[in-house]
Amino acid sequence: MKRRAIISVSDKTGIVSFARELVDIGFELISTGGTYKALDEANIPVKYVSEVTGFPEVLDGRVKTLHPLIHGGILARDSVKHMEQMEKNGIKYIDLVVVNLYPFRETIAKPGVSFEEAIENIDVGGPTMVRAAAKNHGRVTVIVNPESYEEVLSVLREAGTVPAGMRKRLAAEAFSHTAEYDRLIAGYLERQLEPPDTFPETLRITAQKVQELRYGENPQQKAAFYINAEAGVGTLANGKQLQGKELSYNNWIDMNAAWKLVREFETCAAAIIKHTNPCGVAMGKTPLEAYESAFAADPISAFGGIIAFNRVVDTACAEALKERFYEVIIAPDFSPEAREILSSKTNLRLFVVGRGELGKVMSGWVYRSVEGGYLVQEIDRGTTPVSEWEFVTEQKPTEEDLVALDFAWRIVKHVKSNAIVVADHKRTLGVGAGQMNRVGSVKIALDQAGDAANGAYLASDAFFPFPDSIEEAARAGIRAIVQPGGSVRDEAVIEAANRLNMIMVFTHRRHFQH
């Protein structure tokens, strides 16, 4: 008896050559819709599913394979009872099911996708066939991943059959495939129902392994990188590495920090990151100008850092970049000339990310693990607009002051708390990160800025609990300070700023980062 395979795939990678080899091995093929068309146009013998069922596709193609002659052929066992029922009802065995599902993940990741379009990309017949074949893996082989085609063909050529152990493994992969698909759909629908300020009762994270990493944060830790099923344009996970060594766990962490920071700016900007903290951030008319200013902020720490640009890296910028050692350079793109220039640095990783839109990152949640559980919070989106700031001192800021304060304020959000940034209008001068007391971070940032702190601007991610930080800033010549406010000692802090003839503004929004 001739073996039969049913093939219905959305991802048609390699399907024509795979199907042709199945025919050569001796399989009869059944197919549907676009898959049938692809095989037929390639002159591969294939039967349309309605030829087998005697029933046409109906309801705009929603019902094609949901028929006893298909599912009976998949679910039937090699038992006398089943064979008698099959003969009585005209059912023939189906031995191989090759199915991958409607592209629901890709559909909901598209910008502006409608609810109706998303729903139409929920597969019904495909998962039903996959589950039926996986349940009956004692007899039936199920394939949901094009990467399995050659492996299955190899054993069919050599042994004429797929061994039981392989069928079981492919069945497990199939159930994982449909389970992930259902989790993705359920999560999408739940988000349509829930108010945006509520958290789901059940947390569903659907992600697919992209690669195993050499090791984790340290060599004794194993690690892997997974992509969230809902990662959209402009997210780091959907970026592309153009050259260089394999990315490490620490590279991914630092790249994430760099990309989130540089996306804060609409004007051309560059950020250099070490251990998730910025050592230099600057704006410029060109990528080169922004890069050189960012580098000048802390040349020592920049060595071996991660650089992110929010503009295409051009020839002039690439010429400057190649003179120094960096781990990764991230940008919306690199010009052909820039890629050629940087290609000589074979270990340097170049990474391209679509610019996307700030605030459109993932599903809106940040996940952190604690022992035995997860913490979930909203993404800290954007910063308080300057128009909503409160001018709390006798000295009021000019428009020029506000530009510089806004620049520093956007950066301090991305520094580990307690966080202090000293800056001028276009670049950082000093960064104080991760200290256990705020005045300690102030001293570090001012020390790094040196004489450049005179007339500069200072941003703090949270309120000042005491006037001591204000006094330190005044001694260094800081002109103006931006901070959230909210301390029980705000009056004392404001009084110190007035006494020292400084400008201070409150944003009324804190930006802790742990």
Catalytic residues: 135, 275
Residues with Cβ within 8 Å of 202's Cβ and at least 6 positions away in sequence, in order, are none
**Cα separations in angstroms, 399 against 281, 316, 422, 458:** 21, 32, 18, 16
What does the chain come to in residues?
Answer: 514
Q: What is the radius of gyration, based on Cα positions, of the chain?
A: 30
User: Token digits for 449?
Assistant: 């800025």
Q: How far is CA 222 from CA 11, 213, 255, 486, in A?
A: 31, 7, 19, 42
Distance of alpha carbon 296 from alpha carbon 47, whole angstroms = 68
CA dihedral 126, 127, 133, 134 (to 10 degrees): 150
Q: Kindly give, in sequence order, each residue whose CB lies less than 8 Å from that of residue 277, ignoring residues fewer than 6 positions away.
A: 257, 415, 416, 431, 433, 434
Q: Which residues contact 193 (CB under 8 A, 6 or more apart)?
A: none
Using a 10 angstrom Cβ sphere, with 0-12 exposed, 13-18 middle and 19 or more buried, the burial of residue 304 is exposed
Angle at Cα 186 formed by Cα 185 and Cα 191, nearest 5°?
100
Nearest C-alpha neighbor of 329 from the set 351, 301, 358, 359? 351
Q: What distance in Å separates the CA atoms of residue 481 and residue 281, rounded to the nearest whole number?
A: 18
Burial label, 374 (beta-carbon count in 10 A; 0-12, 13-18, 19+): exposed
Cα separation of 413 and 421, whole Å? 9
Cα(234)–Cα(360) distance, rounded to whole angstroms? 8
How far are the Cα atoms of 53, 85, 129, 191 from residue 89, in angstroms, in the given order?
A: 12, 6, 19, 45
| Separation of first and last alpha carbons in the chain | 66
344 exposed, middle or buried (CB, 10 Å; 0-12, 13-18, 19+)? exposed
Q: Write the DSSP string, 122-191.
A: --SHHHHHHHHHHHTTTT-EEE--GGGHHHHHHHHHHHSS--HHHHHHHHHHHHHHHHHHHHHHHHHHHH
* 140-145-150-151 Cα dihedral, nearest 10 degrees: -60
Query: Strand, helix or coil at 439?
Result: helix
Give the relative orientation of helices 149-159 and 164-193 as an angle to the nearest 10 degrees: 160
Specify the 3-state DSSP secondary structure of 472. Answer: helix
